Amino acid sequence: MPEPKKRNYLQRVLIIASGLAFLSLMIIPLVGLVWKSPEATQPTNNPNAAANGDLKTLQAEAQGYEQVLKREPENLRALQGVIDTKLKMGDYQGAIPHLEKLSQMYPDNPQVLQPLAQAYAMTKNVAGVTKVKGQLEKMLVQNPDDPRILQAVAQMRLVVNDLTGGIEIMERLAKIYPQDEKLKQAIAMLKQEQNKQISPDMLQPIPTPTK
């Protein structure tokens, strides 16, 4: 299979994987603090920018939180605030360092690892995804019906090109949320990609980097 065709196939899968971050079922509670709903943080048509007026306000808010963090690096509310504003702006790359810091503070909390995994997925950061993949997969074994963990694991599997594994997790989600039309559409799109005449190597998961 020519390399351009394989690359286009992977790009389509990654687009679907990124879209999973905005499924209507998604919620992101955070270590007991008040966290705005995904509807409030979801960008509209452009995932990388808010409206001009809102963008300036959000940038000012983010800078304010970052100033607080310079003085008080462990300030949870400032950390939450800067993450929230960067996600509203669609600045997933900018949110990652703060999410990573939070995950270091709460390494076994799936409610912290889940948004970090999703930020990695949104930026197509395979190396970052593999950092948390093992932890969340283990948590999924312990909590097989947790929709937040299921959704994060599905995204990660798709980002590393494990199309079959991603669909399997999404179908488990569909049993929990049978009325979620976005989820049904995502599954249908992935199955269409899976059923196309493509070479077997295109369906092989990307190997996890070794240290």
pLDDT of residue 146: 87
pLDDT at 187 over 50: yes
Beta-carbon-side half-sphere exposure of residue 116 (alpha carbons within 13 Å): 28
Q: Among positive and negative, which fits the CA dihedral 77, 80, 83, 84?
A: negative
pLDDT at 42 over 50: no
Residue 119 CA to residue 122 CA, distance in Å, equals 5
Average pLDDT over every residue of 168-193: 88
| 3-state DSSP assignment of residue 51 | coil
Q: Among positive and negative, which fits the CA dihedral 204, 153, 36, 69?
A: negative
pLDDT of residue 198: 52
Q: 152 with 99: CB under 8 angstroms? A: no
DSSP letters, 55-83, are: HHHHHHHHHHHHHHHHH-TT-HHHHHHHH
Comparing 69-73, 107-111, 170-174, the range with the smallest average pLDDT is 107-111
pLDDT at 159 over 60: yes
> Which distant-in-sequence residues (6+ apart) come within 8 Å of 184 by Cβ?
174
pLDDT at 5 over 70: no
Average pLDDT over every residue of 95-113: 87
Phi, psi of 36 (to 5 degrees): -65, 150
Residue 110 CA to residue 144 CA, distance in Å, equals 13
pLDDT of residue 109: 79
- Interval 115-143: pLDDT, tens: 888 788 888 888 888 888 888 889 999 99
Q: 92 with 122: CB under 8 angstroms? A: yes
Q: 81 with 61: CB under 8 angstroms? A: yes
